[in-house]
Chain A
Amino acid sequence: MLDDRVALQSTQTSRRRGAGRSLGSRAGDPRYLGLVSVAVLFVAWYLFTGPYHVVPAKFLPSPAALVKEFVDLSRHGYAGTPLWVHVGASLGRMLAGYALSIVVAVPLGLFMGINPVARGLLSPVFNILRPIPTIALIPLMVLWFGIGEESKVIVIFLASFLFIVLNTTAGVMTVPEGLVRAAINLGANRVQLFWRVMFPAALPSIMTGLKTGLAVSWAVVVAAELLGAQQGIGYMIEDAATFYRLQAVYVGVIFIGAIGLVMTSTLNLIEARVLHWAGKS
């Protein structure tokens, strides 16, 4: 009962404090600060490329020129292919490789977490492979799987695979012994112990792997699309750069950033909803 009252009081205090310093606290909020710096960047970009011509258009087009290019690309497509097909091709490859990675890596990571033999056999292999940048494997994948979709999807798969496996294994291995003992003491059998305690306890760590995996998978899409693709944002950027269509290059880069941001935010949203306890003690 005492706890209630204390909790109530502290809410009231914070509310009062919030009312008194609404202006000051809003200015101190990191989210608003972020908006400020983005706005400053945009204004600087506009001023330097438009009215003042500090930066020549051959290095950085003006915002207006990019909007016009975007409208053109949306209307006529790029290299005879509609813009949304390029975007869809990149997203499709990325999601195929990433989904494949999750389907293989999470179960494998869980198994390595609970099985010392599997861990002992596989950990050294993964530790040797870990420092190799996926991009360095692209020529090999082309050699093995050709320049079709397979090699691209496999490169994207490889990029996120190790992050997800290693974080999943670490998550299982760092489940507090006390929680395991509590569950056993309360009557959980081995299967229940795994699904109702080890797995949920490992979820925050698995999520860390999924988030890192997503970021690196999306990053290698562009690199994978340099391998003789005929569609995709990476292809568009590469091709446009070859023909010096700088504005199309910029539109492609902005698309990659925006899509990456949307996907990361989606995962963050899922994390906040589903893993509500993560990071709280």
Chain B
Amino acid sequence: MTPGLQIRSLSKVFASTGRSRAEVAALTDIDFDVQAGEIYCLLGPSGCGKSTILNIVAGFERMSSGEVAVGGQPVSGPSPERAFVFQQPQLFPWLDVWENIMFGPSVRSASRSGARERAESLLAATGLTEFRHHHVYQLSGGMRQRVAIARALINQPSVLLMDEPFGALDAQTRIAMQELLLSIWDRLHTTILFITHDVEEALFLGDHVGVMTARPGRMKFEVPIPFERPRTVETLTLPAFVELKKQVMVALREEVRPGPCDV
């Protein structure tokens, strides 16, 4: 089995801009593996640095120390190999749906015919076939994020990095998007690193869930998620699911409870 994504003793320190000149530790000694073809959900309280991990893997930010490798190769700088889906869709508003999806292949001058075929099947998979000529501002929030997912996947990345992609959607749309993501993943088996602060979302999507501590972010623990796929809305109400959700929530509560120093 080809290696997926390895993160070894990753640390990130932000130089302070204030007068104190103290450095701020954002991430300390992060270690985890994402197996090729699995969905790994990273769960943590806000401000724990989980987005920073994603930005480092994507090559948007530099790490202070540690190693990040994808497919056995250390990462350096941004690459379409590590496709990113942002919290906001970040579509290009002057392009229509089709042109947004084809942006990657057109800038990389990749094979056009192959890209067109992939775009067609991604349009179908995301339910956007009839909307190919629509402009971004004519789409709902959920549809925009579907375009963003298709635009990222057309580059055939070895890892898909998702930064709370459904966080800005309403509850019903969010569940629909989670099911849609699982159905696409079921076909492509792309390795996914998925950031969220929603316990239910992490347990519903993930093969593994890594739980982080509050700042400075460390890995608190990692749980394998045993529920069978395909998972559906019914999975959310299984007694075992509810029990696991409770345990994770209790663990997270310790992190968000204000400590004596925070008061």
Q: Kindly identify which residue among B84, B91, B92, B142 contacts A185, using a CB–CB cutoff of 8 Å.
A: B84
Asked whether, in the complex, the Cβ of A280 is within 8 Å of the Cβ of B108, the reply is no
CB contacts (< 8 Å) of A281 on chain B: these are 137
Which residue of the partner chain, among A1, A179, A181, A187, contacts B104 with CB atoms under 8 Å? A187
Contact call A178/B107, Cβ cutoff below 8 A: no
* Residue B143 is within 8 A (CB to CB) of chain A in the complex: yes
Could you tell me the distance between the alpha carbons of A275 and B135 in the complex, rounded to whole angstroms? 12
B211 at interface, CB cutoff 8 A: no
Which of the listed residues A3, A176, A185, A277 has the most CB atoms from chain B within 10 Å of its own CB? A185
Looking at A4, A184, A275, the one whose CB has the most chain B CB atoms below 10 A away is A184
Say whether B136 contacts A181, CB under 8 Å: no
B93 A280 Cβ-Cβ under 8 A? yes
With beta carbons under 8 angstroms apart, the residue of A181, A187, A189, A277 that contacts B86 is: A181
| B140 interface residue (CB < 8 Å to A) | yes
A188–B107 CB distance below 8 A = yes
A1-29 interface with B by 8 A CB criterion: 1, 3-4
- What 1/0 flags go to B95-112 for Cβ under 8 Å of A? 000000001100110000
Q: Is B208 an interface residue (CB 8 A)?
A: no
What residues on A are CB-neighbors of B80 within 8 Å? 185-187
Determine the residue in chain B with the shortest Cβ distance to A193. Answer: B107
Chain A residues lying within 8 Å of B104, measured Cβ to Cβ, are 186-187
State how many angstroms separate the Cβ of B99 from the closest Cβ of chain A: 10
The smallest beta-carbon distance between A277 and chain B, in angstroms, is 4
- Answer whether A186 and B137 are a contact pair too, CB < 8 Å, given A178-B88, A181-B60: no
**A64 contacts partner chain B, Cβ-Cβ < 8 Å:** no
Which A residues lie within 8 Å of B137 (CB)?
277, 280-281
Contact count band on B: 20 to 34
B90 engages A277 (CB within 8 Å): no
| A265: interface (CB < 8 Å) | no
Are the C-beta atoms of A277 and B94 separated by less than 8 Å?
Answer: yes
- A178, B93: Cβ atoms closer than 8 Å: no
Q: Are A184 and B78 in contact (CB under 8 A)?
A: yes
Kindly state the separation between the CA atoms of A277 and B95 in the bound complex, as whole angstroms.
9
Quote the shortest CB–CB distance from B126 to chain A (angstroms).
12
Q: Which A72-88 residues have C-beta < 8 A from chain B?
A: none
Partner of A182, one of B84, B130, B140, B143: B84
A184-B78, A185-B83 given as contacts; is B140 within 8 A of A277 (CB)?
no
CB of B127 closer than 8 Å to a CB of A: yes
Given contacts A3-B140, A3-B143, A277-B93, whether A181 and B107 have CB atoms under 8 Å apart is no
Q: Nearest Cβ in chain B — how far from A97, in angstroms? A: 30
Given A178-B86, A182-B86, A281-B137, residue A189 in contact with residue B107 (CB < 8 A)? yes
The answer to whether A186 and B103 have CB atoms under 8 Å apart is yes
Nearest chain A CB to B156 CB, angstrom units: 11
Report yes or no: B92 in contact with A200, Cβ–Cβ below 8 A: yes
Nearest neighbor of A2 in chain B, beta-carbon distance = B176
Task: Name the residue of chain A whose CB is nearest to the CB of B154.
Answer: A186
- Whether A182 lies near B90 (C-beta < 8 A) is yes
Contact A183 B127, beta carbon cutoff 8 Å: no
Question: Counting CB contacts under 8 A, is B151 at the interface?
Answer: yes
Is there an interface contact between A277 and B135, defined as CB atoms closer than 8 Å? yes
Give Cα A195 to B104, complex, Å.
14
Q: A179-B90, A192-B107, A276-B135 known; A185 and B78 CB under 8 Å?
A: yes
**What is the bound-complex CA distance between A1 and B143, given in angstroms?**
10
Residues of B within 8 A of A280 (CB): 93, 137
The yes or no answer to B155 lying at the interface (CB within 8 A) is yes
Let me know if B214 is at the binding interface, CB within 8 A: no
> Which chain B residues lie closer than 8 Å to A187 at the CB level?
79-80, 104, 107-108, 155
Question: Given A183-B103, A185-B80, A196-B107, does the pair A178, B90 have CB atoms closer than 8 Å?
Answer: yes
Query: Is B58 an interface residue, CB under 8 A from the partner?
Result: yes
CB distance from B176 to the nearest CB of A (A): 8
- Docked Cα-Cα span, A275 to B137, in Å, equals 13
**Which 3 A/B pairs are nearest by Cβ-Cβ distance?**
A280-B137, A277-B93, A186-B104
Contacts from B to A (Cβ < 8 Å): 58, 60, 78-80, 82-84, 86, 88, 90-94, 103-104, 107-108, 127, 130, 135-137, 139-140, 142-143, 151-152, 155
Residue pairs across A and B with Cβ atoms less than 8 A apart, 16 shown, are A1-B127, A3-B139, A176-B90, A181-B58, A183-B103, A185-B58, A185-B80, A185-B83, A186-B80, A186-B107, A187-B107, A188-B103, A196-B103, A200-B92, A203-B94, A280-B93
